[in-house]
Amino acid sequence: MRIGSIGEFGLIEKFKKNIFLGPEVVAGSGDDCAVLKFKPGLYQLFTCDMIVEGVDFLKDTRPELVGRKALAVSISDIAACGGVPKQAVVSFGMPKNTSLRRVELIAKGLFKTAREFGVSVVGGDISSSREIVIDVSMLGEVEKERLCLRGGAKAGDLVMVSGEFGGSIKGKHLNFTPRLKEARFLTRNFKIHAMIDVSDGLIQDLGHILEQSASGALIYEDLIPLSRDAAGIKDALCSGEEFELLFTASRAEAKKIIRDTRYHFRVIGQVMPREFGLKLVDRKYRYSRAAMKGFRHF
């Protein structure tokens, strides 16, 4: 059997069966961050992300944007849990013939992003590799009452998003802004039941929330905000790497969120009982079962 036959998430499930978790672990694999016991009133968040040349960026991608993305994807994970990023270590693999100037510019983009979001880069590693690979491991903190994971969605909740979807391959996937301020605003002022950042596609990432929450959902296609670069509704549902927030809240809380004009969040659907599954309603009010399509590495 090859790994392509079970896919990325099937492989993760196989790993999870053999993972040891100590008593300090509040939440392990299955969320945007691991959650660890830390200080009174605080949890520590721990996440890692790898970006690879030819998969997450190309040889002719502006080096500064490569460095920015390398750090920003982990910041986005911390935001999805309601936390604040604190420290990171960065491992860098590169071919021996990589120009020094390219590496310096990648580092420039990474360190600039670290300063922008208050992240201390405290170490890392360097190795030779066939293509450029950057792996970031990041620690963050979150107040216990503000922690938000994927597993809290409840039937009757409204499904909400920040930003717009589709066409991220035209530039947003490299130059996005992690929704750290928006996430902190939400968890500070409202009761958010579940949250995730959209990295693998709107439908697929919603599926992660529904799986962890043992719920279903009904999504209205005409409520999904399309970016000007979107190729259509299918692109907006499946393309991924927007790194927007996708979250659920009760109807009462959702009304409060919408009335507050400091940030602009939109309702795109509602959480349903698990047996309902995940369904879409098109502009002619026709129902269809949503396929869990999005980006997968294999």
Distance of CA 47 to the CA centre of its chain: 11
Contact predicate 68/164, CB 8 Å:
no
d(CA 248, CA 256): 13
Return all residues near 101 (Cβ < 8 A) that are at least 6 apart: none
Give the domain CATH number at 167. 3.90.650.10
pTM of the model: 0.93
Residue 249 resides in a domain: yes
30 and 135 inside one domain: yes
Domain end position, chosen among 105, 130, 145: 145
Question: Residue 39's domain is classified under what CATH number?
Answer: 3.30.1330.10
Based on the fold, state whether residues 61 and 178 are members of the same structural domain: no
How far is CA 293 from its chain centroid? 16
pLDDT at 295: 47
Query: Domain tally for the chain?
Result: 2
Flag residues of the chain having pLDDT under 70: 3, 5-9, 11-12, 291-298
* Single residue among 115, 145, 175 that ends a domain in this structure: 145
Question: Is 85 within 8 Å of 137 (Cβ atoms)?
Answer: no
Instruction: Give the integer Cα–Cα distance in Å for 84 and 78.
Output: 6
Instruction: Provide the pLDDT for residue 297.
Output: 46
Task: State which residues form the domain around 179.
Answer: 149-289
| Residue 296 in domain | no
Share the mean pLDDT of the chain.
Answer: 93
Sorted by sequence, the CB contacts under 8 Å of residue 199 that are 6+ apart come out as 73, 76, 205, 240, 241, 243, 295
Domain boundary, last residue among 124, 145, 166: 145
Domain identity same for 102 and 156 = no
Residue 134 maps to a domain: yes
Residue 131 vs residues 12, 60, 98, 298: alpha-carbon distances, Å: 24, 13, 9, 18
In this prediction, residue 298 carries a pLDDT of 41
Structure tokens at 50: 């790898």
CA angle 5, 30, 236 (to 5 degrees): 70
Please choose, from the candidates 207, 209, 179, 171, the residue with its C-alpha nearest in 3D space to the C-alpha of residue 294. 207
